[in-house]
Amino acid sequence: MNPSPYSNDQYTIGWISALNEEFMVAMAMLDEEHGRPQSTPQENTNIYHLGRIGDHNVAMACLSGGQMGTGPAAIVAENMRRTFKSIRFALLMGVGGGVPGKGKDIRVGDVVVSYPSGTYTGVVQYDYGKLKGNCHIQRKDWFSAPPSFIDELGEEYIYPEASEALDRLYQADQGHVPEAETCDSCNTHALVPRKPRKFPSKLCIHYGIIASGNVVVKDGTERERIDQRYENSILCFEMEAAGLMNNFPCLVIRGMSDYSDSHKNDQWQNCAIAVSSAYAKELLSLIGPSDMEVLPPIARISSHKPH
């Protein structure tokens, strides 16, 4: 990979992927590829891929091989801050486990975006003490993902065929048949009846609270228990955001790949990666250079040592 024609200080947006598969799709979202950074501090362990989306120079990085959780995410962000001193904010990308519930029609293949309000940053660390306050925030939007993005990525990224059949939401207390590879033998009477979407080709984007922690939630009862603790406001679970939110302004964008229960499988993962990346690209194309000028560079906000 060649060095970028632009200096590190000319990059204003960070894009952090959790998994390597997500990083590959992220790179495909670039309108122009720039290559690697001109220089990186010695202690920087991130691998970067630089390029342009819309009017913005974007520095992309990925958590290193198989690492997950808030600690590794904080280290990636800290390295990024040191290396690209003009970055204004980052997009924290990846998949997440949806938390459907009353008034929350979240489905696999949808996108959840952290939406700050009141005392909440849009992210709660559910495995770290108790949070107080009121967190009834939810907005919803529709986004018709330009199909060309997804087509260009290849067949494995489109919505799974007969998606209606595969999008199965079980009642929270109805666990998966132990050891079974698929849900074919799971009790169909335990499915939560849901109406088909009016416009199945349009994604639903949900804005609100994302719950972040170091443990994967894959139990329906546990999902509901944590959600209740936060007044049923949680839209999805993920594992990195809490490592960044206090020190690194970022927007968390998660594609829903499962329902955080024991029926969790990988069928929707590629689709979830594709839709969240397409949404992020669309979002960056809507932000003008003048919108960025009002934001201070992260490097000046605070310095934070990862733990």
Where does this chain touch Zn ion (CB under 5 A) — which range of 65-73, 168-176, 191-199, 224-232?
168-176
Where does this chain touch Zn ion (CB under 5 A) — which range of 62-70, 142-150, 262-270, 275-283?
262-270
- Size of the residue set binding Zn ion (CB under 5 A): 4
Instruction: Give the three-state DSSP class for 273.
Output: helix
User: What does the alpha-carbon distance between residue 236 and residue 228 come to, in Å, rounded to a whole number?
Assistant: 13
Q: Give yes or no for residue 112 binding Zn ion (CB under 5 A).
A: no
Closest CA to 46 of 28, 30, 64, 27: 64
Least Å distance, CB 217 to Zn ion, is 16
Least Å distance, CB 186 to Zn ion, is 3
Where does this chain touch Zn ion (CB under 5 A) — which range of 11-19, 49-57, 249-257, 261-269?
261-269
Work out whether the CA dihedral 240, 49, 275, 204 comes out positive or negative. positive
Residues 6 or more apart in contact with residue 293 via CB below 8 angstroms: none
User: What does the alpha-carbon distance between residue 33 and residue 4 come to, in Å, rounded to a whole number?
Assistant: 8
Where does this chain touch Zn ion (CB under 5 A) — which range of 14-22, 73-81, 112-120, 169-177?
169-177
Q: Give yes or no for residue 264 binding Zn ion (CB under 5 A).
A: no
Of residues 123-162, which lie at the interface with Zn ion (CB under 5 A)? none
Helices then strands, each counted (H, E), the chain: 8, 11
What does DSSP say about strands 203-212 and 234-238: parallel, antiparallel, or unpaired? Answer: parallel
Closer residue to Zn ion in complex, CB, 79/267: 267
Least Å distance, CB 200 to Zn ion, is 23
User: What does the alpha-carbon distance between residue 9 and residue 15 come to, in Å, rounded to a whole number?
Assistant: 15
Q: What is the 3-state secondary structure (H, E, C) of 42-91?
A: CCCCCCEEEEEECCEEEEEEECCCCCCCHHHHHHHHHHHHHHCCCCCEEE
Residues 26 and 33: beta-carbon distance below 8 Å? no
Q: Alpha helix locations (H) across 125-251?
A: 147-153, 163-166, 220-229
Element (H, E) at 270: helix 269-286
The token pair that represents 1 in the structure block: 């990979």
Q: Give yes or no for residue 298 binding Zn ion (CB under 5 A).
A: no
Which one of residues 34, 88, 263, 281 is an interface residue with Zn ion (CB under 5 A)?
Answer: 263
Closer residue to Zn ion in complex, CB, 188/303: 188
Closer residue to Zn ion in complex, CB, 22/261: 261
Closer residue to Zn ion in complex, CB, 64/185: 185
Closer residue to Zn ion in complex, CB, 169/203: 169
Q: Give yes or no for residue 88 binding Zn ion (CB under 5 A).
A: no
Closer residue to Zn ion in complex, CB, 216/287: 216
Q: Give yes or no for residue 108 binding Zn ion (CB under 5 A).
A: no
Count CB atoms within 10 A of the CB of residue 303. Answer: 11
Closer residue to Zn ion in complex, CB, 27/166: 166
Of residues 178-207, which lie at the interface with Zn ion (CB under 5 A)? 183, 186
Site of interaction with Zn ion (CB under 5 A): 176, 183, 186, 263
